[in-house]
């Protein structure tokens, strides 16, 4: 093999890895977009708090999938971009990573209120209240990123106009960044886990001792259990960033590239696709609308919407 064939083989392998990353992401983003379009297309869905929160979950997961895929491709192809843009993209991606578990906690709380306080549900879980809740979610999820940005502008001498390879580790190099991220991630997941467990137990008690709306309570109980499964999928996604930032594969860079490719597909892309799909297709009303949207109206019979 001559010297000119080696770079060409490297380019071929790189193109294959990029294709294996982009193609599944585009497919899953297309499916999520159709699901979002199906929700927005039905105005009555926008009046139900559970569907508002589910739509926001779809949006944040899609945004996270898009940003993490872009960052992964930037790192894989060693593209040099402006530091300012890299900082914005990495921190926005970090916000969306922390957003989804918080969204699940609010979805569980909404089901808890609907079952345990049915008479007050209509006054508590209003469209306006959901808008405020979404704003609070973005604020809470941004705390860690705001702290990173404050430390970056306070202690970094790096020019924001300089071009560099966009990797979070190369921009936020101080150990305090890692500590802040880990602390916030652990606290976030612990609080969300406590909320989901509490709502599940409370609904389970309601199922056991309530003689009315037992069927609805059992459905809500299974829904919260699905939220716990979704939380587990999100927790799996965080493992990629820990493994990716470790020194485990530094002894063999070529082997590390293939392992990270598999981990990225298995821990980032597929959980972000399965999580909303599990919840969305389980709902009978959503399933009918999604079937109609996915088949472009071929399945023309959509059952009337009933406010759950």
What are the pLDDT digits (tens) for 145-187? 888 888 888 877 777 777 777 877 777 777 888 788 888 888 8
Q: Rounded to whole angstroms, how far apart are CA atoms 158 and 166?
A: 13
65 falls within a domain: yes
The values of phi and psi at residue 166, to 5°, are -80, 90
* Cβ 282 vs Cβ 226: under 8 Å: yes
* Residue 307 covered by a domain: no
Classify 164 as helix, strand or coil: strand
Examine residue 252 and state whether it is found in any structural domain, yes or no.
yes
Helices (H), the chain: 5-41, 49-77, 83-116, 118-124, 127-155, 168-171, 175-209, 214-244, 253-264, 270-282, 284-294
Dihedral (C-alpha) 143, 149, 150, 155: value to the nearest 10 degrees? Answer: 150
| Residue 110 domain flag | yes
- Domain of 195? 5-294
Cα 197 → chain centroid: 20
Q: How far apart are the C-alpha atoms of 194 and 200, rounded to whole Å?
A: 10
The pLDDT, as a whole number, for residue 308 is 45
- Separation CA 12–CA 15 (nearest Å): 5
Q: Identify the pLDDT of residue 305.
A: 44
- Residues in the chain predicted with pLDDT less than 70, given as ranges, are 1-14, 209-218, 220-221, 237-257, 275-277, 279-281, 293-308
Residue with tokens 């890299």: 86
Q: What is the CATH number of the domain that holds 109?
A: 1.20.1070.10
Rounded to whole angstroms, how far apart are CA atoms 167 and 132? Answer: 33
Instruction: Determine the length of the chain.
Output: 308
Tell me whether residue 186 is in a domain: yes
pTM for the predicted model, two decimal places: 0.81
Helices (H), 78-174: 83-116, 118-124, 127-155, 168-171
Assess if residue 54 is contained within a domain: yes
pLDDT of residue 171: 78
- Asked whether residue 301 is domain-assigned, the answer is no
Q: How far apart are CA 139 and CA 144, in angstroms?
A: 10
| CB count in 10 Å sphere of residue 160 | 13
Which pLDDT score is estimated for 7? 56
Structural domain tally of the chain?
A: 1
For residue 299, give the DSSP letter.
S
Rounded CA separation 224/203 (Å) = 9
Which of 240, 109, 238 lies closest to 185 in space, CA to CA? 238
> pLDDT at position 257, please?
66
**In a 10 Å sphere around its CB, with 0-12 CB exposed, 13-18 middle and 19+ buried, how is residue 210 labelled?**
middle
């Amino acid at each position: 093999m001559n010297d000119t064939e080696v770079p060409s083989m490297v380019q071929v392998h790189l193109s294959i890895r990029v294709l294996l990353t982009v193609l599944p992401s585009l497919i899953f983003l297309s499916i999520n977009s159709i699901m979002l379009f199906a929700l927005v297309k039905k105005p009555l869905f926008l009046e139900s708090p559970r569907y508002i929160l589910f739509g926001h979950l779809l949006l944040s997961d899609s945004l996270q999938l898009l940003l993490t895929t872009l960052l992964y491709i930037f790192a894989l192809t060693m593209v040099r971009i402006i530091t300012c843009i890299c900082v914005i993209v990495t921190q926005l991606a970090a916000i969306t990573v922390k957003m989804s578990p918080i969204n699940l906690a609010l979805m569980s709380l909404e089901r808890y209120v609907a079952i345990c306080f049915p008479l007050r549900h209509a006054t508590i879980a209003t469209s306006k209240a959901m808008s405020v809740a979404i704003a609070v979610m973005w604020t809470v999820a941004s705390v860690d990123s705001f702290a990173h940005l404050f430390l970056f502008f306070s202690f970094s001498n790096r020019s924001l106009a300089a071009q560099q390879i966009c990797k979070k580790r190369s921009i936020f190099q101080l150990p305090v960044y890692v500590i802040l991220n880990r602390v916030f991630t652990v606290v976030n997941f612990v609080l969300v886990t406590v909320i989901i467990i509490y709502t599940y137990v409370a609904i389970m008690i309601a199922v056991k001792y309530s003689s009315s709306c037992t069927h609805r309570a059992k459905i809500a109980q299974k829904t919260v259990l699905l939220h716990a499964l979704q939380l587990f999928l999100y927790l799996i996604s965080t493992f990629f960033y820990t493994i990716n930032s470790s020194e485990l594969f530094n002894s063999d860079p070529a082997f590390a590239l293939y392992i990270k490719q598999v981990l990225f597909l298995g821990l980032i892309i597929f959980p972000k696709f399965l999580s909303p799909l599990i919840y969305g297709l389980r709902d009978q009303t959503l399933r009918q609308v999604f079937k109609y949207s996915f088949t472009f109206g071929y399945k023309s019979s959509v059952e009337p919407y009933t406010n759950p």
